[in-house]
Amino acid sequence: MSDATASEPSAESEQESADPASRSRWWSVSASRVVLYGALLAIMGVFLVPIETGLVTSVKTNPTGVSETLPYLPPPPEYFTLEKWEQAFDRLARGMVNSALYSIPATVLSAFAGSLTAYGITQARWKERYKALLLALFVAGIFIPYQAVLVPLSRFWSTYAPLEDWLAVLWVIGIDNDYAGLVELSVTHIAYGIPICTVLFRSYYKNMSIEMVESARLDGASLRRVYRRIILPLSTPMFAVVLIYQFTQIWNDLLFALILVSSESSEAAPVTLILAGLGQSLEGADFPLRMAGAFIAALPTLAVYVMFGEEFAEGVAS
Amino acid sequence: MPGPFRRRGQGPDRGEGESDSPSEDGADGDATDPGSARTDGGTVQRKRESSGGRLSGALDDRFGDDFVESLPFWLPAFLLMGLFVYGAIIWNFVISLTDYEGFRDVSYSSLDFEMYTRAFNDSGFLDAAQNTVVLLLAFTVLTLGVGLGLAILVDRNIRFENTFRTIYLLPMSLSFVVTAQFWLWLFNFEDGLLNQAVVLVGLDRVNWIGDPQVVLWAVILALMWQFSGYAMVVYLAGLRAIPQEHYEAAKVDGASTLKMYWRVIIPQLKGATISAAVVLMVFALKAFDFLFSLVSGYRPPNGADILATKMVREVYSGTPRWAYGSAIAMILFAMALSIIGPYLIYQYRRGNL
């Protein structure tokens, strides 16, 4: 295999093909390219198949349509139905609203807190030794398994911060008191989101040119003024990355929802909690309903991913 | 936008590798920096004296020029995080020493390690611990391997690189709850795609979820599908940080492609491997969401119980065994710490902290 040419821009190898002397070389190059693209496409198939079988299954009738057709083929007209999508939507609509109610504020607030924190421990001048210690605590905070904090978390919210009592006025005006769980979820997600947001912003601020900040500081600008006038406007690209990453993480979470809201039948159940119990019955699993539900629950994160794939990749890569 | 995927030296943005330059390492205490001396004499100093007084001056002397002024920026978030992360872990440890159970109030009067001895005599715990280690190691190694392969394929100057990369990374944007639904259907014994393929090549159907010998590997397969795109992205950034000359030098020496990658390129990906491995292991420790959704309940299929699921089951299903759950959580935390600790030290030595 002639890799020397393979890694050069393909435009160049096409030019070479005009020269008859190098034609045989061009053939071997394009053969290896064909193999390469074939492999890439095959892998792409592997990545898409689970999603594709889910999609075609979601519009099949249950149980005949599911058992009579191949799992990866769309159903023939007699087995086609959108009923499962309607059912799934009816079941999940409440959860979608609930998830949005805590995901969006928690995303915005944790991103903003991360930006402020990263600024305070990056651009402000104090000793690197202490900054490193602080940063180590933040980095370790990203990686702790949440099981290690679950028991204190449930104790804390039930005994020491009983939001259900504190917010009693809301329940009087007719809001279901399970919604206290969503406030708990927001605060919890902000607290556990701060480490990753801080570390993402910190790597961005560290690589930023500091000349402007230094001259502003020399002119006597306070840290707060430098943040508002210089750092915040320059942070927009990183805010996109962090907001997308955080939104995906918070929307997708099940564990905290399960612990803090606990029941899928609750008025305030987030979408992941409802989806986890969808399509289970004594007669067996209703796969079309489950698949339709999975797509509906994934819709917001999929939309964000399709629109901001590049930012998402940057968020996970750093 | 300057993504992590541009090859080094291709534009004004010099890629990820450059950021590790040791410019900040030595500057312990910014007093060595010519800028700070001037800052001290200026307006800032005067303003601080008027508002802060002697204490803030002393704190600034101890920690650095801007320490007191920077407090409002990071302290609130740090306290919130510290309370929920480190405060909770310490509290969790104390609870694990009690014998707190059921619906009465917790009593801290007698503290001992009884729950830990109970764990090591509980065959369910030992199985879960073994499964956790298998899941952790197999998933991480396999995913890194697949991710590296993908990154090398994608890094060959292909067209539509963005499209390929986007699709390989797509599963990672999905919730564990969502991917569990997809895989439950793929694993279905009668009609699932995997068994259809197995039958097609003339083998017997596999009971992917029901067979305790198989189910853990089925879970690993599903998690690999979800996260190899992530490993690819990290390796791709690592590959792009390797100067083009290293490839060319290897070629001039007449090394084969395989040899070039093995001898020259892969050794330079050590940093990418370490950070990807740490993140993947942590994801594997968090596989709770996937296993819960697979069965819509607290009891994972036989043979796939891990510490994360066992801990939650002990506490939140049936009579709550708070103390026992906390003890299992502490052991899980110790496992995570044995991964994160060395990682932090490694990052500190490289000057990344």
Q: Is A7 left (phi over 0), alpha (psi -120 to 50) or beta?
A: alpha
Per-residue confidence (pLDDT) for residue B313, from 0 to 100: 94
Neighboring chain B residues of A139 at a CB cutoff of 8 Å: 340, 344, 347, 353
pLDDT value at B230 more than 90: yes
Evaluate whether A287 touches A71 at the Cβ level (below 8 Å): no
Q: pLDDT value at position A39?
A: 92
In one-letter notation, the amino acid at residue A201 is: F
* Mean pLDDT confidence for A300-318: 85
Cα angle A51-A57-A58, degrees, rounded to a multiple of 5 = 90
DSSP collapsed to 3 states, chain A: CCHHHHCCCHHHHHHHCCCHHHHHHHHHHHHHHHHHHHHHHHHHHHHHHHHHHHHHHCCECCCHHHHHCCCCCCCCHHHECCHHHHHHHHHHHHHHHHHHHHHHHHHHHHHHHHHHHHHHHHCCCCCHHHHHHHHHHHHHHHHCCCHHHHHHHHHHHHHHCCHHHHCHHHHHCCCCHHHHHHHHHHHHHHHHHHHHHHHHHHHHHHCCCCHHHHHHHHCCCCHHHHHHHHHHHHCHHHHHHHHHHHHHHHHHCCHHHHHHCCCCCCCCCCHHHHHHCCCCCCCCCCHHHHHHHHHHHHHHHHHHHHHCHHHHHHHHHC
Report ipTM (2 d.p.). 0.85
Q: Residues 196..235 of B with a Cβ closer than 8 Å to A: which? A: 196, 225, 229-230, 233-234
Instruction: Please give the average per-residue pLDDT across A275-280, as a whole number.
Output: 83
The confidence score (pLDDT) of residue A1 equals 38
What is the pLDDT, as a whole number, of residue A100?
A: 95
- Give B281 to chain A, closest Cα distance, Å: 9
pLDDT band of residue A16 (cuts 50, 70, 90) is very low
Check whether A285 has a pLDDT greater than 80: no
> How large is the angle between the packed helices B176-186 and A287-307, nearest 10 degrees?
130
Asked if B86 lies within 8 A of A137 by C-beta distance, the reply is yes
Per-residue pLDDT tens digits for A143-184:
899 999 999 999 899 888 888 788 877 787 777 778 888 999
Q: Is residue B22 scored above 50 in pLDDT?
A: no
Check whether B37 has a pLDDT greater than 70.
no
- pLDDT class for B103, splitting at 50, 70, 90? confident
pLDDT score for A271: 93
pLDDT at residue B44 in the model: 44
Section B255-275 average pLDDT: 85
Q: Which of B77, B312, B353 sits opposite A113 (nearest CB)?
A: B77
* Secondary structure tally for chain B: helices H, strands E: 16, 0
pLDDT interval class at A283 (50, 70, 90) = low
Q: Give residue-wise pLDDT tens across range A18-34.
A: 455 556 666 667 888 88
Main-chain dihedrals φ then ψ at residue A80, nearest 5 degrees: -85, 135
Query: Nearest Cα to B332, choosing from B100, B135, B150?
Result: B135
Judge whether residue B34 has pLDDT over 50.
no
Position B180 scores a pLDDT of 94
| Average pLDDT of the segment spanning A3-15 | 42
| Closest-CA distance of chain A to residue B139, Å | 17
Give the residue among B262, B265, B311, B323 at the shortest CA–CA distance from B286: B311
User: For the segment B199-226, what is each residue's pLDDT rounded down to a tens digit?
Assistant: 888 888 899 998 999 999 999 999 999 9
DSSP B260: I
CB B188 within 8 A of CB B301: no
pTM for the predicted model, two decimal places = 0.83
Residue A181 forms contact with B (CB below 8 Å): no
Mean pLDDT of chain B: 82
Task: Using CA coordinates, name the residue in chain A closest to B347.
Answer: A136
- Express each pLDDT in A188-237 by its tens digit: 999 999 999 999 999 899 888 778 888 888 888 888 898 998 899 999 99
- CATH code for the part of the protein at A88-317: 1.10.3720.10
B278 and A143 within 8 Å at the Cβ level: the answer is yes
- Chain centroid to CA A158: 29
B235, closest residue in chain A (CA to CA): A317
Q: Mean pLDDT, chain A, as a whole number?
A: 85
Check whether A41 has a pLDDT greater than 70. yes
Query: Residue B181 to residues A23, B121, B229: CA-CA distances in angstroms?
Result: 51, 35, 20
Q: How far is B305 from chain A (nearest CA, A)?
A: 15
When scoring A125, A198, A212 by the number of chain B Cβ atoms within 10 A, the one with the most, hence best to mutate, is: A125
Instruction: Write the CATH number of the domain with boundaries B123-349.
Output: 1.10.3720.10
CA distance B1 to B232: 20
Please identify among residues 274-293 of chain A the ones whose CB lies closer than 8 Å to any CB of chain B.
275-278, 280, 285, 287, 290-291, 293
Give the C-alpha separation, A31 to A27, whole Å.
Answer: 6
